[in-house]
Amino acid sequence: MKLILLGAPGAGKGTVAKMLTKIDGSVQISTGDILRGAVQAGTELGKKAQGYMERGDLVPDDLIMGIMEKRLQEPDCEKGFLLDGFPRTIPQAEALDALLAKLGIKLDMVVNIDVPRDVIFDRLCTRRTCENPDCQAIYNVKSMPPKKEGICDKCGSPVVQRADETEEAIGHRLDTYNEKTAPLVGYYEKTGLLRTITGTSSDAVVEAIRKELGI
Ligand code: AMP
C-alpha cells in the first residue's frame, strides 16, 4: 500500500504505520526518525536540523525533500510505503506530487488521523522513545511502559523523553501543526484521496484503513 498518514504529533501515525507494515511488507518512512538518527550520528543533515527540531520548528523544506527524493527510490519502497510525518507543508506536498509523477508512483490514500488536542497533549507529555536510532520504539509511562523501567523491550537501549517533548516544545509543535500542516487536509480533499478517521485507538484506525482499502 502507498499511503500518507496525516495527523498532529501524537495522533498515532507512527504506531499505525508500524502496524500496517506487518500486513503487506510496506515500509514506514518517518522523516522524524530519519532526522533524529542524523542528529545522533552527527551528520551534516543532523547538524542542520538539530536546532529546528529542539525548538519544535519545522526543518526547511529543501532538506526534507533531499531526504525523501533518495528514500523513495530505495528498493524496499517497491512493496509500498507509509509516509509518517511527511509532507508537513503545502510546498512539501507539491514537491511530493512532482516527485511521485517523476517516479511513476500513484498513492492509494491519504489518511487523516483526527484526535482531540487534549488527548494528544497528554499522550506526548507521557510518551517515551527508545534512544537507539535504529529502533526508536515508542512507549507511554501511563498506558504502555516498558517491562523494565527505562529499558527498551525490543533492543535493551535506554528509553528516554525526547528533547522536543517538554510541555513548552509540545505546545509549539501543536501550534506549528495547526498553522503549517493542517492546511494539507484541504489540499488532499481536493484530490479525492483523503479519508479522515476519528479515533484514539490505533487498532480501530488500522481496521478502518483496511476496510477502506479492502484488505
Ligand atoms: P516527528 O517525529 O514527526 O514529530 O518529527 C520531529 C521533528 O522533526 C519535527 O518537530 C520537525 O522539527 C522535524 N520534522 C519531521 N518531519 C518533518 C517534515 N516533513 N518537515 C519539516 N520538519 C520535519
Q: How far is the CA of 214 from the centre of ligand 1 (A)?
A: 31
Question: Does residue 205 lie within any of the structural domains?
Answer: yes
Q: How far is the CA of 12 from the centre of ligand 1 (A)?
A: 14
Q: Is 88 a catalytic residue?
A: yes
Question: Does residue 128 lie within any of the structural domains?
Answer: no
Question: Does residue 176 lie within any of the structural domains?
Answer: yes
Q: What is the CATH number of the domain that holds 25?
A: 3.40.50.300
Q: Which domain holds residue 25?
A: 2-115+168-213
- Read off the pTM: 0.92
Question: Does residue 122 lie within any of the structural domains?
Answer: no
Is the confidence at residue 55, as pLDDT, over 90? Answer: no
31 Cβ neighbours under 8 A, 6+ residues apart? 59, 64, 67, 68, 84, 85, 86, 88
Question: Does residue 78 lie within any of the structural domains?
Answer: yes
Is the confidence at residue 200, as pLDDT, over 80? Answer: no
| Predicted confidence (pLDDT) per residue in 13-22, tens digit | 999 999 999 9
Question: Does residue 154 lie within any of the structural domains?
Answer: no
Is the confidence at residue 98, as pLDDT, over 80? Answer: yes
Q: Is 13 a catalytic residue?
A: yes
Q: How far is the CA of 85 from the centre of ligand 1 (A)?
A: 6
Instruction: Give which of 155, 138, 157, 191 is closest to 32, Cα–Cα.
Output: 138
Instruction: Give which of 131, 134, 181 is closest to 10, Cα–Cα.
Output: 181
As a whole number, mean pLDDT of residues 98-121 equals: 95
Question: Does residue 86 lie within any of the structural domains?
Answer: yes
Give, for ligand 1, the residue of 48, 58, 69 to mutate: max count of ligand atoms closer than 8 Å to Cβ. Answer: 58
Count: domains in the chain: 1
Of the pLDDT bands very low, low, confident and very high (cuts 50, 70, 90), residue 163 is confident
Question: Does residue 140 lie within any of the structural domains?
Answer: no
